[in-house]
Structure 1
Amino acid sequence: MEFGEALRYLAEKAGVKLEPIRGQAAGEKEKIYAINNLTSRFYQYFLHSHPVGKVALSYLLKERGLKPATIEEFSLGFAPDNPLALKKFLIDKKKFSPKEVENAGIGYPQGGYFLDRLRGRVIFPLFDHRGNVVGFAGRILPTDPKQDMAKYINTPETPAYHKGSLLYGLHLNKQNIKGKHTAIVVEGELDAISSWQAGIKNVVAIKGSALTEDQVRLLSRFARKAILCLDTDIAGDAAAKRGVMIAQDQGLEVKVAQLKGYKDPDDAARENPEALKEALIKAVGIWDFLIDSVFARFDKKSGEGKAKISREVVPILNLISDKIVQAYYVGEVAKRLEVSEEAVEEQVERKQEGQKVEEGPAFTETPEGKGRRELLEERLLSLGFRYDEALLQDKKLADLIKTPLALRVWEEYLAFRLKHKKFEISRFAKVVPEELFEGFAEMVLTEDFELDNPAEAPKEAGIVRRELEILAIKEKLIELEKEIKKSGKGADKFNQLTEALHNLEETGSQGIILEEER
């Protein structure tokens, strides 16, 4: 019995309720994957091998400037504008039921017909990070007489497809992103495809203007840094700012690339790829970008201008959860406003106090990296339980694991190994205390912690350990900064740790764009 199934069996025997991490929906998702995979090939056939796809193929090749190899790599297709074509293929030939096809979000019954939701459109299959086709996006052709229709439509939400969880292109680029620890984040499918064709092989699209929590959680498995190259005005978009905050809480460093003279990355990649790459290389930190955008709008020389800048900059400073980073930007803002750091600090503290009063007892400051730490610690233990038990016997874990669940589970493992020469997940599961069992099982079973190649577990564990070491140094720096302010002591240690942090963060991260070999 596979160990995940053994855990589920033991949980049922013990009467412990497990969250349906894979649950009953797994069979339904597999059915949708099968339908979508066949449908993707169906659409590709019409694009490449049927006369009705000639206009669509010409549009992709000539108007969008895509190469045949790029079209093939992203499995692009065309949905014929024939109301019976999809039904004949999926229902009559492949014997899926109308309900199954409807549940996949591809078709729907209407007026005695079973219609293709995406008919008459260029098709972009949407893959999850494992390469499953979870849904589709369709773009209307410029020559289509039905121009009053939406330019783009997507598969509706299904058990397999959730728009806010998808990172388009990740299935192709995840190893490249890991290699550079950096993801280039764009908005739409064509932004990602054109950038990829231009040689930027660590790009993903978020299919919107703002990162979601699910997207950040997934992206943080592969990257330490996200460079946003979006059409949206991040400085003026509340949703985009929320996405930045979510990324910060997960420990992702966020930068912003500014395209000048081009409407979007797709436009830049087709007209001047080098300009796009230069913009990515020159990307600025998110806090620099937001603060600069405020200073650019007001006259910092006048008293009124200083007041307006202060009113807009202080809330930005207050968003920075890393106190070391916040202290740096407090100093920078003070210099630019030509006022004392104490004056800016006072405004930030006053804003924080105001938020506490306004938001009430539920507002508490999250410890630096807490969300990120929990994720990393549980991932590290999961790698050991799933793939390589030797990872759990590393004594250095005592200095790295700090969150309650992960620490308790690891301590239970160590106690178990003192009594047993051989480790078996099924035997260990029987002795895990009931109050830990659900968290332990979720840690081991969750799809987020699966590896495509189990042999990479030690390498992956090394990456996770380094990330935990970075968090530990940041936490220590916060303590030292407080000590320095209080007593004036600890500056040498602070400088040593800062250098150590820099070295860790630079490990294996030279460059930000992973281009094809030339």
Structure 2
Amino acid sequence: MNDAVEEIKQKLDIVSFIGQYTKLTKAGRTMRGICPFHSEKHGSFFVYPEAQNWHCFGACNTGGDIFAFVMKKEGLDFKGALELLAEKAGVSLPSQINPQIRDQRERLYEINLAAAQYYHNLLLNSPQAESARSYLKSRGLNEQSLADFQLGYALPEWQGLYDYLKERSYTDEDLLKAGVIVRSDEGRIHDRFRNNIIYPIANYKGQIAGFGARVMDNSQPKYRNSPQTDLFNKSSLLYGLHLASASIREKNQAIIVEGYMDAIMSHQGGFTNTVACMGTALTDRQIALVKRQTKHLILGLDADSAGEEATLRAIDYENQIESEIRVAVPEGGKDPDEIIRHAPQTWQEILDNARPLLDYIFEHSQKGLDLSSAAGKAGLTDRLLPIISKMEDGVRQSHYLGKLAEMVSTSQNRILERMKKLKNETRITKVLEKEAPSKTVSAAKNPALEEYALSLLFKSPELSRFAGKLHPEYLEIPQYRELLAVYSQSAEKDNLRAALDENLREYYDNLMNKNPANDNIEDKFYDLCLRLRERYLRNLAVKLNQALNEISQPETAEYQTLNDQCVKVNEELRSVFSLKDRRNQKQRRQ
């Protein structure tokens, strides 16, 4: 896979490739243009032909190689970017020429389909499933919904599914890889789900990637899922998307709800452009799935968590989908499936009256604050200004700045000045990695530092609480950035390999085969993070100076903004040097 990545980079010139997305003009040894990721008047986006990478000094304040560009622009993970670029470059990937890998994935899909059919048949016909049928009937589901979503039931027996699949010649290894069975510490094999209602979870093609399960008693947790496998990553799937895609395109609108029942009842009630995020916070990858179908999105969230979810990644979602998102929140604490079950027209009215996301956040953020007091006004500003500052639509940003200024009884200019200060601070806190400022930016990669840091992190569970010190932007190798991103999102860090697609596993295995030191692990990891941060800052300083040299009129606001960033970067570098000196002195005393 390493060879394929390098071959793609050799065959695809980053200047020509990015030039398809934004017009680039020559600026000395660099190329410059309007950033394709956010709205701006002056070009803060630079491409470096010699290094074959890019950097935005505007609102994005990020950069990377051609893979990082495609992942950000198309909303893809590394695997998706790899496949897209390989096709454009005419490069064959190992998985494309290795039928064993392809056949393994197809076999896992076959197992999941067989399991779904087994569960579905039990729900419809088994006397033991009577309580499950009664429960689903009490929730208002009809026979068509049971069939459309292939709902099922898992028997209380330990090996019902296992025996069924073994009769079809599937091996224990395959069944474990699919996640449908479990091997206990004593070596006993049994079904993963027992006495559960089963919700098969399909990918956008309709292939069963995994399962959700609801208990039939009062035990906790109420819902469980398949483990992360080669096929199943909950953060990359939307429940019901394979059934909703045609309706989403036809209506040019998608509704995202939280739970399985919300989605199923929505379809039964005629709201067939609905999908579910399965009770977790929305992710970039889920938004990217929706963006392929439509730019018009309504968050139909449960009342008890709407505020938290809407606020969490609000503007990131809007910037990604390049359109205003609206929020439909039921009153009275009812969930969408309950409303649709009793009064579908009421849900339609709620959707019709869905509010712009920012309006909802403004209202939600006022809770607990006394806006007649100075402390309350400052608190509201602190809550809302970071959100407004992320907005890439200048007209809408100006509208909400004015709205905030009116709410806290101050001038819009004062709010604007505070936002500019906040943006400058935010830009600099995100800076990271590369070599000496006296050198030109080079395309050569020296992965030793990041390999050592990741190896320590992945092999030392005690470092998980320090993982935040290692940011993805510190890493030059796109595969390592993706590994760190998966690690950060994974709830089962000791089973990280299962969460990776086959394109990343060789990199993970390489890191796990290294032998990092066993003593002073925390100190070594901290020092590595400092060195990687210094490397990034040094390289960022080089790029900033190059950008400043290409501006012919130093008195412009554009020049001043870049110069301010340069000053901040140098301050950050001095801070890093100071930390390193103090640590060196401490180590010499020990």
- Equivalent residue number for residue 183 of structure 1: 254
Shift, 1:139, TM fit: 0.7
Offset, 1:130 = 0.7
The alpha carbon displacement at 1:149 in A equals 4.4
Shift in alpha-carbon separation, 1:352–1:164, aligned structure 2, 3 A = same
Alignment of 1:53-72 (within 5 A): 53-61=129-137, 63-72=138-147
* CA distance in 1: counterparts of 2:187 and 2:368, whole angstroms: 59
- Residue 166 of structure 2 corresponds to residue 87 of structure 1: no
Kindly indicate whether residue 209 of structure 2 is the aligned counterpart of residue 137 of structure 1: no
Give 1:76's aligned residue.
Answer: 151
CA distance in 1, matches of 2:223, 2:284: 24
CA-CA distance at 1:34 after TM superposition? 0.7
Please tell me whether the aligned partners of residues 170 and 204 of structure 1 are also in contact (alpha carbons under 8 angstroms).
yes
Partner AA of 2:275 in structure 1: V
Amino acid paired to 1:51: P
Shift of 1:352: 0.9
Return the match for 1:48 from 104, 110, 124. 124
The 3 A distance-change label for structure 1 pair 107 and 337 is same
State the distance in 1 between where 2:383 and 2:242 align. 39
| Residue 175 (structure 2) aligns with | 101
Contact 1:127 1:133 in 2 (8 A): yes
How far apart are 1:44 and its partner, in Å?
1.1
Give the superposition deviation at 1:83.
1.9
The one-letter code matched in structure 2 to 1:35 is I
Equivalent residue for 2:305, pick from 196, 211, 233: 233
1:278-318 deviation line (CA, Å, top 9, x unaligned): 22211111111112223454343444433332222212211
Cα deviation digits, residues 177-230 of structure 1 (max 9, x gap): 111221111111111111222221111001133211211111110121221122
CA distance in structure 2 between the aligned counterparts of 1:261 and 1:170, rounded to whole angstroms: 28
Q: Deviations over 1:68-104 (max 9, x none)?
A: 111111111111112232122110x211111111111
| CA offset digits 1:249-290 (Å, max 9, x no partner) | 242432111111133222222233333222221111111111
Judge conservation of contact 2:96–2:102 (CA < 8 Å) in 1: no
> Paired residue for 1:331?
402
The structure-2 alpha-carbon separation of the partners of 1:20 and 1:300, relative to structure 1 and needing over 3 Å to count, comes to farther
Task: Give the drift of 1:237.
Answer: 5.1
Residue number among 313, 319, 323 corresponding to 2:390 in the alignment: 319
Amino acid at match of 1:54: E
Judging changes above 3 Å, is the alpha-carbon distance between structure 1 residues 243 and 158 closer, same or farther for their aligned structure 2 residues?
A: farther
Change (3 A) 1:318 1:66: same
Q: Distance in 2 between matches of 1:299 and 1:108?
A: 53
Match of 1:359 among 398, 409, 430: 430
* Among 105, 111, 114, the residue aligned to 1:29: 105
Greater relative CO, 1 or 2 (CA 8 Å, sep 6+): 1
Asked whether the 8 Å contact 1:194–1:269 carries over to 2, the reply is yes
Q: Is the alpha carbon distance of 1:41 and 1:237 closer, same or farther for their aligned partners in structure 2, counting shifts above 3 Å?
A: closer
SS in 2 for 1:134: strand
Answer whether contact 1:125 1:136 (CA < 8 A) is retained: yes
Report the Cα distance in structure 1 between the residues aligned to 2:156 and 2:382, rounded to whole angstroms: 55
What is the CA-CA distance between 1:105 and the residue it aligns to? 0.5
Give the Cα separation in 2 of the matches to 1:314 and 1:126. Answer: 38
**1:304-315 aligned within 5 A:** 304-315=375-386
Separation of aligned partners in 2, 1:71 and 1:216: 27
* Pair 113,311 (structure 1): closer, same or farther in 2 beyond 3 Å: closer
43-52 vs 295-304, greater mean Cα deviation: 295-304
Gaps of 5+ in 2: 1-81, 434-502, 504-556, 559-590
1:156 aligns with 2:206: no
Secondary structure, aligned partner of 2:214? strand
Deviation at 1:234, TM superposition (A): 4.5
Bigger Cα displacement from structure 2, 342-351 vs 165-174: 342-351
The equivalent of 1:251 in structure 2 is: 322
Q: Distance in 1 between matches of 2:269 and 2:362?
A: 31
Q: For residues 345 and 90 of structure 1, do their structure 2 counterparts lie closer, same or farther at Cα, with a shift above 3 Å needed?
A: same
Q: Percent identity?
A: 32
Greater shift in the superposed pair: 324-333 or 18-27? 18-27
Partner of residue 205, structure 1: 276
Distance 2:258 2:410 in 1: 39
1:112 shift after superposition: 6.8
SS of the aligned residue for 1:46 comes to: helix
- Is the 1:70–1:193 contact (alpha carbons within 8 Å) kept by the matching residues of 2? yes
- Kindly report the root-mean-square deviation, in angstroms, between the aligned alpha carbons of the 2 structures: 3.0
What is aligned with 1:223?
A: 294
Given that 1:107 and 1:115 are in contact with CA atoms closer than 8 Å, whether structure 2 keeps it comes out as yes
Deviations 1:222-248 (A, max 9, x none): 12122112235344459x623651452
Relative to structure 1, the CA distance from residue 35 to residue 244 in structure 2 (aligned partners, 3 Å threshold; closer, same or farther) is farther
SS of the aligned residue for 2:267 comes to: helix
- Partners of 1:222 and 1:15 in 2: how far apart? 27
Change (3 A) 1:87 1:261: same
Write the distance in 2 (CA, Å) between the matches of 1:297 and 1:50: 52
What do residues 362-399 of structure 1 show as CA deviations (whole Å, max 9, x unaligned)?
Answer: 8xxxxxxxxxxxxxxxxxxxxxxxxxxxxxxxxxxxxx
Indicate the residue corresponding to 1:171 in structure 2. 242
Note the residue ranges of structure 1 that are not aligned, 5 or more in a row: 1-6, 363-441, 443-484, 487-518
Distance across 1 between alignment mates of 2:427 and 2:378: 23
Residue type at the aligned position of 1:200: F
* Cα drift, residue 20 of structure 1: 5.2
| 1:19/1:253 CA distance change after superposition, 3 Å | farther
Question: C-alpha separation between the residues in 1 aligned to 2:91 and 2:145?
Answer: 49
How far apart, in 1, do the equivalents of 2:192 and 2:339 lie? 31
Shift in Å, 1:354: 2.0
SS of residue matched to 2:227:
coil
**Which amino acid letter does the alignment assign opposite residue 37 of structure 1?**
L
C-alpha displacement of 1:118: 0.8
- The answer to which of 280-289 and 102-111 deviates more is 102-111
Q: Matched residues in 2 for 1:22 and 1:198: separation?
A: 46
Q: Indicate whether 1:349 and 2:425 are aligned.
A: no
Contact 1:187–1:205, Cα closer than 8 Å, also in 2: yes
Query: Residues 194 and 266 of structure 1 are in contact (CA less than 8 Å); yes or no, is this contact kept in structure 2?
Result: yes
Q: 1:352 to 1:52 in 2, by over 3 A?
A: same
1:22 Cα deviation (Å)? Answer: 9.5
Instruction: State the partner residue of 1:194.
Output: 265
